[in-house]
Structure 1
Amino acid sequence: MRISEVIRRKGAEVVTIRPEVTVTDLLTLLAERNIGAVVVSTDEGRTIAGIVTERDVVRHLNSDGAQVLDGPVAALMTTEVLTCSVEDDLQTLARTMTDKRIRHLPVVEDGELLAIVSIGDIVKNRIDELQAENEQLVDYVHG
């Protein structure tokens, strides 16, 4: 199965934030949207300048203290962002995300940000596939 199928099921909405926004405002956004990562973009979400996650905030709070909260998102974000395309295979991406300990992957097509997928999206998709296979096997055995 391809990433395009996950996007079709979950939707392509991507929450973005500008790099100059404060970390406190980032935390508000994460809480309001009940998400764990935000793509950082300087052009209204068309391209990726970076990505910032809850983990980034926690790590910087631990190392730099509470003053991090008043600083810009740009100070915390990861600028070398691993991305995927709509044609990428879910199994391959699941392995990559697990190996690299990445929970969120922006989906890029023709150089533009299209969507974002999380490891949770991929796991949910796999559970749905297994459940459908199970139902087919039960029907076959009882049929």
Structure 2
Amino acid sequence: MKISEVIKKKGNRVVTIESGTTVADMLRMLDENRIGALVVSDDGGETVQGIASERDIVRALHQRGVEVLGKTVRSIMTSEVWTCTSDDELEALAVSMTEHRVRHLPVVDKGKLVAIVSIGDVVKHRLDELEAERNELFHYVQGDRSMT
């Protein structure tokens, strides 16, 4: 299964933030959008310059204190961003996210940001697949061959 299937179900909405935005404004955006990370892009989402997450904020607060809230997203963002394409296989992506300890992956096709997927999206999709398999097996065992 390709990551494009996950994107079809969850949608391709990506919230981006400019690198010069304050961390305090970033917190507001995370809260308003009920998300855990923002793609950093100074050109409105065409290119990915970094990713800024709740984890980045917590780390910066711990290291530098509350004055970090007035600093820019550029000062706390992760610049080395792992990305994927919509043609990548879901299982390989799950392994990659686990190995690299990343929770969010921007989806980039032909050099352009097209979506973002989280580890939660990947897990939800896999759970949905397992539920469908369970239902199919249940109906098979019960003798309802119309499901197969």
TM-score by length of 2: 0.96
The count of residues paired between Structure 1 and Structure 2 equals 143
Quick one: distance in 2 between partners of 1:82 and 1:119? 13
Quick one: distance in 2 between partners of 1:97 and 1:50? 16
Task: Supply the AA of the counterpart residue of 2:122.
Answer: I
Q: Identify the residue that residue 45 of structure 1 maps to in structure 2.
A: 45
Q: Identify the residue that residue 87 of structure 1 maps to in structure 2.
A: 87
Does residue 137 in structure 1 map to residue 137 in structure 2?
Answer: yes
Q: CA deviation at 1:100?
A: 1.2
Q: Identify the residue that residue 75 of structure 1 maps to in structure 2.
A: 75
Structure 2: gaps spanning 5 or more residues: 144-148
Q: CA deviation at 1:55?
A: 0.3
Structure 1: gaps spanning 5 or more residues: none
Which deviations, in whole Å up to 9, do the C-alpha atoms of 1:89-108 show, x marking residues without a partner?
A: 11111011111110000000
Quick one: distance in 1 between partners of 2:49 and 2:79? 6
Runs of 4+ residues over 3 Å off in structure 1: none
Q: Identify the residue that residue 62 of structure 2 maps to in structure 1.
A: 62
Task: Supply the AA of the counterpart residue of 1:111.
Answer: G
> Secondary structure at the residue paired with 1:14?
coil
Q: How is 1:121-132 mapped onto 2 (pairs within 5 angstroms)? A: 121-132=121-132
> Secondary structure at the residue paired with 2:88?
coil
Does residue 102 in structure 1 map to residue 80 in structure 2?
Answer: no
> Secondary structure at the residue paired with 2:19?
coil
Q: How is 1:17-36 mapped onto 2 (pairs within 5 angstroms)? A: 17-36=17-36
Quick one: distance in 1 between partners of 2:81 and 2:60? 18
Quick one: distance in 2 between partners of 1:100 and 1:51? 14
Task: Supply the AA of the counterpart residue of 1:90.
Answer: L
Q: CA deviation at 1:135?
A: 0.3
> Secondary structure at the residue paired with 2:21?
coil
TM-score by length of 1: 0.99
Larger Rg: 2
> Secondary structure at the residue paired with 1:107?
strand
Identical counterparts, % of pairs: 55
Quick one: distance in 1 between partners of 2:52 and 2:80? 11
Quick one: distance in 2 between partners of 1:81 and 1:106? 8
